[in-house]
Amino acid sequence: MRFTSILRQVILEQSRFEILRDALTKPTQDKQGNKVKAKMTPQEFLMLVQADPTTKMNNVDPETANSKELEKIKAGKYVQWLIKHYLSPKTERQPGDSGYEKEVKQAKETFMEDLYKITDDLKKFVRFKGRIQGERDMNKLTPDQLYDAVKDFDLTLATTTKAERKSAEVHPGAKLVFDGDNWRVVEIKDKGAVGKEAACFYGGNNQETRWCTSAPGASWFDRYIKDGPLYVVYNPNDTDVAPATGLPKTRYQFHFPSNQFMDKDDRQQDLVTLLNGPMSELKQFFKPEFAKGLTVGGEKLVIDSFSHGAIGKFIALYGLDDLIGNLPSTLKEFQIQNRDSKNDVTINIPEEIGRFKDLNMILLDNCIVNIPDAICTLPKLRFLALINNPKLTSIPDCIADLPSLYFLNLKGSNNVEVPESIKAKGTDMGGGMWDLQD
């Protein structure tokens, strides 16, 4: 009986890889017979299998192996756990919210990016499971909880003094751009080897932090630096330091183009909370960085959320008036669409919108209660859409005098009293739409 049990286990181990591969990487059909896209690519599946330190590859190279050779791979005991957390990442948005699918995609990319860290954590879990305090059932742990369970093994003590740290020079490839009472900001802009060395140093060569950009043998630094600078933030007065660099163990890395604001454990931080709270000293300093990402090519502003993304954070920190004030005067398209399923937000468009003389299109969807007269000073405005705004009751008479305006759309804004000047000039096309061509 014992031999039979062992044989059955061997067969299960050998087949787990094939069963999982087929279930996850091949298209299926729903009850209506419609084709359903595979949950992941074969490459993604192999990466997850290899990330499990208990997987037995049996000298098989998955990149060159044929189907027969792949059958020799024995998927490890944590593969299904890895797959579960890859397919169901933690997100701010909920299904149905605008931008949810994009956020899920980004979360999956980040999961793959950090896969080597999870492998290290799994190795520690296997090695030190008997010494771990608290939950030891892997199926009840998230990747973050796994890291918390194993992160304190093999810690070392700091040896440098506060005076030594205070007088330390900035590492080549980096620049000290802010040195305040409580916070210091180091900027890394160099895209070459010197910049990468600086990123590795300030991240403690991926030992003092879990930032992928600080891993000497990885290429993640190149991926991020091409889109914009990295900012390393820490308190120079912190006496709890790491031995290799002499930097405080508690530090942060910000990358505005990817909307990633990470602590030393590479966990996303709420930057609004930080800059409105303990990092208020840095609020104005980082304002230009937020402003850089507000438009597309300096010509197009698109807001589809007041609570997510770089623009949502900017509004939460500085307000809508400040947002308008920091937009480039070259703006040609201005779109605000409130698509948050649980966010009933209404805003006031400031008079300052009149400074964008190149604007040719304005779309304000489910977000406004009034329109300023300054909108009538936009000589190139061709399309004006004020849709789905039930609290909007009036619009300026002077809209009829806009020299380039072709089309006015008030669909869904049923409480608006259309001025007589527009009725006299335009053609009512029905449904709140007006043709204003002469």
- Helix (H) / strand (E) containing 325: helix 320-325
Q: 37-93: per-residue pLDDT in tens?
A: 888 988 888 889 888 988 887 777 776 767 777 777 888 889 999 999 999 888 888
**What is the structure's pLDDT at 358?**
95
**What is the structure's pLDDT at 7?**
37
Taking CA atoms, 147 is separated from 10, 132, 139, 265, in Å, by 30, 11, 14, 9
Give me the residues paired with residue 74 across strands.
56
**What is the structure's pLDDT at 158?**
38
* Average pLDDT rounded to a whole number, residues 265-282: 91
Report the distance separating Cα 199 and Cα 197, nearest Å: 5
> Counting every residue, how long is the chain?
438
**What is the structure's pLDDT at 308?**
65
Give the rounded percent of residues in the chain with a pLDDT score beyond 90.
Answer: 40
Report the distance separating Cα 204 and Cα 211, nearest Å: 9
Q: What is the CA radius of gyration of the chain?
A: 28
Burial call 283-312: b when 16+ CB within 10 Å, e when fewer? bebbeebbbebbbeeeeebebbbbbbbbbb
pLDDT at 163 over 60: no
Taking CA atoms, 6 is separated from 2, 10, 12, 75, 144, in Å, by 6, 6, 10, 17, 34
- Helix (H) / strand (E) containing 29: strand 28-29
Q: 108-133: per-residue pLDDT in tens?
A: 998 998 888 898 888 888 877 777 77
Helix (H, G, I), strand (E, B) or coil at 334: strand
pLDDT bracket for residue 4 (50, 70, 90):
very low
**Residues whose CB falls within 8 Å of the CB of residue 167, separated by 6 or more in sequence, listed in order:** none
Block residue for tokens 């910049």: 195
pLDDT bracket for residue 11 (50, 70, 90):
very low
- The single-letter DSSP state of residue 388 is S
Please say whether the beta carbons of 427 and 406 come within 8 A: no
Burial call 395-430: b when 16+ CB within 10 Å, e when fewer? bbeebbebeebbbbbbebbeebebbeebeebbeeee
Q: 286-322: per-residue pLDDT in tens?
A: 988 877 766 766 788 888 766 666 677 777 777 777 7
Least confident of 127-136, 372-381, 403-412: 127-136
Helix (H, G, I), strand (E, B) or coil at 44: helix
* Average pLDDT rounded to a whole number, residues 242-253: 91
Computed over every residue of the chain, the mean pLDDT equals 84
* Average pLDDT rounded to a whole number, residues 103-107: 89
Report the distance separating Cα 86 and Cα 88, nearest Å: 6
**What is the structure's pLDDT at 150?**
84
**pTM, full prediction:** 0.58
pLDDT bracket for residue 208 (50, 70, 90):
very high
Highest mean pLDDT among 27-31, 295-299, 315-319, 403-407: 403-407
Q: How many CB atoms lie within 10 A of CB 187?
A: 18
**Residues whose CB falls within 8 Å of the CB of residue 5, separated by 6 or more in sequence, listed in order:** none
**What is the structure's pLDDT at 164?**
45
- The single-letter DSSP state of residue 85 is H
